[in-house]
Structure 1
Amino acid sequence: MSTSTIPAPVSGSGTPPRGRRPALPRGGGAAFGLGAAVIYMSLIVLIPLAAVVWRSQERGLGYFWEAVTTPDAWAALTLTVGASLVVAVINLVMGTIIAWVLVRDRFWGKGVIDTLIDLPFALPTIVAGLVLLALYGPSSPLGIDLAYARSGVVLALLFVTLPFVVRTVQPVLLELDPDMEQAGASLGASPLQVFRRIILPNLIPAMLSGTALAFARAMAEIGSVVLISGNLPFKTQVASVYIFGQIETDNPIGAAATSTVLLVVALVTLVALDLLQRWGSRHA
């Protein structure tokens, strides 16, 4: 009776031990790439933001607090954050629906609509504001006048933030395995249960990412709202227009203080989103 022998693993073979990742080579190219990325990010993002924060503290925390709590500054910040939250929630729902329709449905003109989604990225925002004022202004051909009202501000922000949720959810829908949905349906799950237990958990990270980006983008918008809002203090003046006005009136420290508040709100939003996504990954 013959016994078969199992060949011993060959030392130095190309297959790494199971459970261990092969070491990636490190060289001068990786160090150069890292250095170039850090320098570029510092010049374009970190140093300018640090300069704004430093300028806002030039006269101390007392002046900083006084600058951001004046009635006109506080009204502009409140309107900006509130309108951005409304826009983010609307984008969360409608952006997901639009992405679903573009991926799962077939209809005439689908390619045209898919192309138009990216129009706010390419169109100058001041042109968008002019178009919105012509369509929804005092002489609107549609009979809808939203000019110089907060609803007009929300409309302008919805226009410029339209692509964010759509373009983050769309690739996830394209990559979803239809076999999982078919398996759930074959086990007796209703379409609503399939969506809630299979599709939605995969979409939530992309939906939250797009919503956070839309929120941050809405807080920084100026071009599309400057015409339709009318820039009425305490009513329709957003923070970006207020900051521009402070620069024009030779108050750069006040402008930097208001900008710092917007920066802090945006950073808190993005950090909270990152923590939420990590928590979701651990519990997936």
Structure 2
Amino acid sequence: MSTAAPTLSTRRILPGFRLTLGFTVAYLSLIVLIPLSATFLQSAGLGWADFWAAISSPRVVASYRLSFGAALVAAALNVVFGVIAAWVLVRYPFPGRRLVDALVDLPFALPTAVAGIALTTLYAPNGWLGAPLAQLGIPVAYTATGVGVALTFIGLPFVIRTVQPVLEELEPELEEAAASLGATRAQTLRRVVLPALRPAILTGFALAFARAVGEYGSVVFIAGNMPMKTEITPLLIITKLEQYDTAGATALAVAMLLLSFALLLAINLLQAWARRQGR
């Protein structure tokens, strides 16, 4: 009696489910869950009244507004221009395309402090771009606009690199078929291209937002760090740590964590809905 060899569909390269799940949970616990739990435990020593006072003061609320508002605006801008950039890199051959494609990853490799210094020098009132903009009445450095510029700079690669592989898999013949059936460019974009790109766009938006909301190095130089105006929450956390207010710093960290998790959960639910709609 011969026994059939196991098919490729039933073979598993890694060990069984229980063992791999155990490694996964242990690794996530060491890297993510235990540090986050320590943050919650540290802030719990304040008591509810002191905790609420630490996370709801006017200065802190103003920093929330700037951090999350600028991150949302930057991620939205990156979606628009990131999709356009990905489209150009995938659909159009042109001289220097490989160089441009490599430059997209520059914010990944560039230290954030270097990026902050470069942007501040560029957009300062006497900088190459800051001077003409200041003459037009559009100051950038040391304003909330400068914070948005820095967050847009560091978040753009996330959108491009998320959308680009999906565009490469999207056959141009689909667009040609839509055109042959009488669809306009706007109709082809709305009914053929965007439905296929929607999950990738939402993923890129979530990654760009998550990267921007906790950014510190590239923002601290260009923001000016004026309380109630251009002070971001990560800087406020650092300030409290320098003042040896560890409990207050962890309270702000917990508030940022909960707010970020709520927004990312909403984005992930929207992304799951977009996937279901695309099927």
TM-score, length-scaled by structure 1 = 0.88
Question: Which 10-residue stretch deviates more, 115-124 or 180-189?
Answer: 180-189
Distance 1:191 1:218 in 2: 33
Q: Following TM superposition, by how much is the alpha carbon of 1:57 offset from its aligned partner in structure 2, in angstroms?
A: 2.0
2:47 aligned partner, one-letter code: G
Q: Provide the residue aligned with 2:55 in structure 1.
A: 68
Tell me how far 1:12 sits from its aligned partner.
Answer: 7.5
The letter for the 2-side match of 1:39 is A
Long gaps (5+) in structure 1: 1-10
Q: Higher helix fraction: Structure 1 or Structure 2?
A: 2
Calculate the TM-score normalised by the size of structure 2: 0.89
- Tell me if the contact between 2:59 and 2:227 (Cα under 8 Å) persists in the aligned partners: yes
Cross-structure match for 1:4: none
How far does the alpha carbon of each residue in 1:76-96 deviate from its partner, in whole angstroms, 9 at most, with x for none?
Answer: 111111111111111111111
Report the Cα distance in structure 2 between the residues aligned to 1:28 and 1:166, rounded to whole angstroms.
35
Does residue 254 of structure 2 align to residue 267 of structure 1? no
Residue equivalent to 1:170:
164
Q: Does residue 1:133 correspond to 2:127, yes or no?
A: no
Instruction: Provide the residue aligned with 1:255 in structure 2.
Output: 249
SS in structure 1 of the partner of residue 224 of structure 2 = coil
Structure 2 contact 55–61 (Cα < 8 Å) conserved: yes
Is 1:112 the equivalent of 2:99? yes
Question: Which residue of 2 is the match for residue 216 of structure 1?
Answer: 210
1:268 positional shift:
1.5
User: Which residue matches 2:234?
Assistant: 240
The 3 A distance-change label for structure 1 pair 148 and 27 is: closer
Which of 119, 144, 150 is the matching residue for 1:150?
144
1:16-42 CA distances to partner (integer Å, 9 max, x unpaired)?
A: 9xxxx9655598555443322222211
Say which is worse superposed, 210-219 or 267-276, in terms of deviation.
Answer: 267-276
Q: 1:46 matched to which residue of 2?
A: 33
Q: 2:272 corresponds to which residue?
A: 278
Deviates further, 183-192 or 40-49:
183-192
Unaligned runs of 5+ in 2: 134-138
| Rounded Cα–Cα distance in structure 1 between residues aligned with 2:140 and 2:13 | 58
Shift of 1:100: 0.8
Q: 1:248 to 1:27 in 2, by over 3 A?
A: closer
CA distance change for structure 1 residues 251 and 194 in 2, over 3 Å: closer, same or farther? same
**Deviation sequence 1:130-158 (CA, Å, 0-9, x none):** 11111111331332452211111111111
Q: Counterparts in 2 of 1:192-207, with a 5 A limit?
A: 192-207=186-201
Corresponding residue for 2:223? 229
Q: Could you tell me which amino acid in structure 2 is paired with residue 218 of structure 1? A: A
RMSD: 2.2
